[in-house]
Amino acid sequence: MKDRNAIPSAADTLIHPLAVDLQGMKIPKEWFTEKCSGAEVIHTETKISATNPDKKYLEVFGYIYPVDPDAPNIEWKILLPQEWNGRSVQMGGGANNGQIPNVEGPVIVSDIIPVDHGYVVYGSDSGHQSPSPMDADFAANDESLANYIRLQLIKTQFVMRYITKQYYGQAPFLNYFAGGSTGGREALECAISYGKYYDGIFCCEPSSNYVLLRMWGALLSKAVYDSYDAESYPYSDGFIDEETIASIQKDAIELYDELDGIKDGIVSNIYAARANRDNFIKIIRDKYTLTDAQLKTLKVYEEGFQLDYTMANGMDSYHGYCALEGGSMDLGPDPVPREPLDTTYNVHHGDRADGVFKYIITKDPTWKLIDHDYYHPDDRLYTMLMEASRKYDANRPDFDEFIENQGKFIFFIGWSDMSISPWQLIQQYRMIEEKYGKGALKSFFRFYAMPSVTHCAGIAMDYLSWLDTWCTTGKYPSETLYARMLKTGGEMPMAEFPGWVKYESGDPMKGDSYSVSYDIPDDFWGRFD
């Protein structure tokens, strides 16, 4: 266990590189805790920050070699600042990865460029290379898939630790991780699978309920396209055109905007809006003459689905989105389903679910997503779903090793996220809360839910400094923290769940003009859990 009192502050710590040439350096396989064939530095280059000409860093690029000669390398990049604060931050990926994240830029949902602030910054392509983050055929190789799911995280960290020791003469005092979506799932893996190696983690809207999320994409696709038959019935009865979808969103925002005390285009009082759902459905059904098939599509988007069986983690439902509380639904512009589904034309989550089912869950490239019954799977499909849940879900509430390492975790969701259900992540949070209890949980875990935040976008926070204060002092920086909302350019206080942001008075661009309210309609959770 680290002695936190011995860790210098980021502002006081300035460690300069040693006279060492990293070009061509090899890292032996024995250095790693997870199996590989070692690593190598392929290229180094001294660079100047694009945003701060006074800041220089060494860019280091290299490979981690696989055990299986048919598996791809893990490609990684590390930025080593000329003046180091003794900390590192690992950046998570997105979608199916295949590309190294932009380690030179801001961390996710933040304006902070870590290398400009003296952090060692690094990330990897997760163990395969692809021009499109939607590609999933890499999963045909078992080692490549295992790297993508979790192994690349700690392998890449061990590369960083080796190189910082060589370059600065020591490893980082503190290791941080920041990621959203797939990077959020990776953030959870860092805590629950490799907790003793990470000190502070920021997790944004994770795709942690991996199998249920892809089943939701399949069931939404079925709701939209199930009626379609190119020869006998070339119509998708569940399809809703883009103009109608945009009008439904506009209607919801106009109806619910001022429930938080101010008309600013932001639906913040999400609980009051959701409590009005049945009434709003009647309004839009009559206004747009929605059919039963179209209403079923809206129901899958808004409410998700309930199964008669459970995943390996005990979950049996996916809770849907704020689709009728101002969220931006995406059913695509075309009612004709492609094979495979294509997000350029079809349901947004359809192609992602299609690739995951073809290459990761079933290992069958001929799998047709909308031809199967996911509510009542046959024995073969059921077995595959259970196996995938055991292997790929990152939602088990097991933070014991992370807690023992005095790790600190910030969990974040946006109410307008239409890729990862905020309600599903609330259920996951409750599993964690149930295991550790509210009091103990507060010592290592903070959970925020903010309005106007779409998928990993719409807000800018300085959570790296929050984590660093928390990790170095053992105390959370403040009970009230503020973030910049990209829709208005103004500040709002961060709302700890289940709070919501309420306007009180004063300049709406200033954070102290708002409060965090915990006023929730009676029996809300009983009705909408």
Computed over its alpha carbons, how large is the radius of gyration of the chain?
24
Say yes or no: 21 and 78 in one domain.
yes
Asked whether residue 11 is assigned to any structural domain, the reply reads yes
Q: Which of 393, 417, 513, 517 is catalytic?
A: 417
Q: Are residues 103 and 218 in the same domain?
A: no
DSSP single-letter state for residue 331: -
Give me the catalytic one of 455, 468, 513, 517.
Answer: 455
Q: Decide if 96 contacts 71 (C-beta within 8 A).
A: no
Alpha-carbon dihedral sign for residues 413, 419, 423, 429: negative
Closest CA to 288 of 250, 335, 235: 250
Q: Is residue 455 part of a domain?
A: no
* The pLDDT value given to residue 7: 80
Q: Give the model confidence (pLDDT) of 287-321 as tens digits.
A: 999 999 999 999 999 999 999 999 998 999 999 99
Pair 149, 28 in one domain? yes
Residues 162 and 219 in one domain: no
Cis amide bond preceding 340, omega within 30? yes
**Domain-located, residue 424:** no
- DSSP string of 316-330? -EE----TTTT----
Are 124 and 69 members of one domain? yes
Q: Which long-range contacts (CB under 8 A, 24 or more apart) does 513-522 make?
A: 516/480, 517/269, 520/271, 521/271, 521/272, 521/275
Query: Is residue 464 predicted with pLDDT exceeding 80?
Result: yes
Is 455 an annotated catalytic residue? yes
Number of domains in the chain: 2
**Residue carrying structure tokens 């709701």:** 223
Please say which residue of 143, 172, 201 terminates a domain.
172
pLDDT at 422 over 90: yes
Same domain, 222 and 124: no
Regarding whether 230 and 151 lie in a shared domain, the answer is no
Packing angle between helix 277-288 and helix 242-256, nearest 10 degrees?
140
Residue 75 belongs to a domain: yes
Instruction: Assess whether 14 and 89 both reside in one domain.
Output: yes
What average pLDDT is seen over the chain?
Answer: 96
Q: Which helix (H) or strand (E) holds 174?
A: strand 174-181
Nearest alpha-carbon partner for 189 in 130, 147, 137: 147
Fill in the DSSP letter of residue 151: I
- Residue 5 has a pLDDT of 66
**Rounded mean pLDDT, 438-464:** 97
CA 383 to chain CA centroid, Å, is: 27
CB-based contact 435:397 (threshold 8 Å):
yes
Answer yes or no: is pLDDT of 198 > 80. Answer: yes
The pLDDT confidence band at residue 403, using thresholds 50, 70 and 90, is very high
Write out the H or E segment, with its range, that includes residue 462. Answer: none
Q: Which residues contact 283 (CB under 8 A, 6 or more apart)?
A: 251
- Indicate whether 264 belongs to any domain: no
Buried b / exposed e over 64-87, threshold 16 CB at 10 Å, is bbbeeeebbbbbbbbbbbbebbbb
Q: Cα–Cα distance between 309 and 373 in angstroms, integer?
A: 13
Interval 38-80: pLDDT, tens = 999 999 999 999 998 999 999 999 999 999 999 999 999 999 9
CA distances from 125 to 37, 131, 294, 496 (A): 17, 11, 39, 33
Q: What whole-number distance in Å separates Cα of residue 476 and Cα of residue 356?
A: 39
Same domain? 22 vs 108 = yes
pLDDT of residue 2: 65
Region of 382 please: left (phi>0), alpha (psi -120 to 50) or beta: alpha
According to the model, what pLDDT value does residue 111 have? 97
| pLDDT exceeds 70 at position 1 | no
Residues 295 and 155 in one domain: no
> Whose CA is closest to 455, among 492, 420, 411?
420
- Assign 526 a pLDDT band (cuts: 50, 70, 90): confident
Domain boundary among 392, 414, 432: 392
Give the residue-averaged pLDDT of 435-464: 97
Flag whether 296 is in a domain. yes
Q: Are residues 223 and 119 in the same domain?
A: no
Inter-residue contact 23 to 62 (CB < 8 Å): no
Question: Do residues 394 and 179 touch, judged by C-beta distance below 8 A?
Answer: no
Is pLDDT above 80 for 181? yes
In a domain, 515, yes or no: no
Domain end, chosen from 341, 366, 392, is at 392
**Does this model's pTM top 0.95?**
yes
Pairing of strands 120-124, 74-81: antiparallel
Write the single-letter amino acid at 20: V
In terms of domains, do 13 and 67 share one? yes
- Lookup result for tokens 């599993």: 431
Catalytic residue among 88, 110, 144, 181: 181
Question: What is the maximum alpha-carbon separation in the chain?
Answer: 73
On whether the CB atoms of residues 164 and 172 are closer than 8 A, the answer is yes
Give the span between the Cα atoms of 104 and 87, in whole angstroms.
Answer: 16
Q: Is 83 within the bounds of a domain?
A: yes
pLDDT band, residue 478 (cuts 50/70/90):
confident
Query: In the prediction, which pLDDT does 372 show?
Result: 96
Please write the tens of the pLDDT for every residue from 330-382.
999 999 999 999 999 999 999 999 999 999 999 999 999 999 999 999 999 99
Range of the domain at 119: 1-172
Token pair belonging to 380: 């073969």
